[in-house]
């Protein structure tokens, strides 16, 4: 995977839904671009969607596509904590 030195933080809300005995995770603003995955637990689904989101954002940047308006972009590093 190609490293993209953008020095930006991309922030989006993740939706989690139970799906039988697993969890479906997706980012509404990026779902049409493929930002959807699952996990056996909520925590696994969140880890998986983080990886998928990074791949989707990198692909959008590499292909010159615009980042959807619902995605917040910061020039500063950010930390998010979900409890």
Q: Which CATH number covers residue 45?
A: 3.30.160.250
How long is the chain?
Answer: 83
Is a pLDDT exceeding 70 seen at residue 72? yes
Enumerate residues 6+ apart whose C-beta is below 8 A from 51.
37
Residue 70 lies in a domain: yes
Residue 82 lies in a domain: no
Q: CA–CA separation, 83 vs 81, rounded Å?
A: 6
Residue 2 lies in a domain: no
Q: What percent of the chain has pLDDT over 90?
A: 81
Q: CA–CA separation, 26 vs 79, rounded Å?
A: 20
Structural domain range at position 47: 9-74
Residue 44 lies in a domain: yes
Residue 80 lies in a domain: no
Q: CA–CA separation, 78 vs 25, rounded Å?
A: 21
What's the pTM value of the predicted model, to 2 decimals?
Answer: 0.84
Question: For the residues 33-59, what does the mean pLDDT come to?
Answer: 96
User: How many domains in the chain?
Assistant: 1
Q: Residue 24's CB: how many other CB atoms inside 10 A?
A: 16
Is a pLDDT exceeding 60 seen at residue 5? no
Residue 4 lies in a domain: no
Residue 34 lies in a domain: yes
């Amino acid at each position: 995977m190609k490293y993209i030195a953008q020095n930006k933080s991309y922030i989006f809300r993740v939706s989690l839904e139970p799906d039988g005995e697993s969890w479906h995770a997706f980012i509404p603003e990026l779902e049409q671009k493929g930002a959807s995955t699952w996990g056996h637990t909520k925590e696994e689904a969140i880890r998986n969607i983080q990886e998928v989101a990074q791949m989707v954002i990198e692909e959008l940047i590499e292909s010159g596509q615009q980042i959807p308006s619902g995605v917040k972009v910061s020039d500063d590093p950010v930390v998010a904590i979900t409890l």
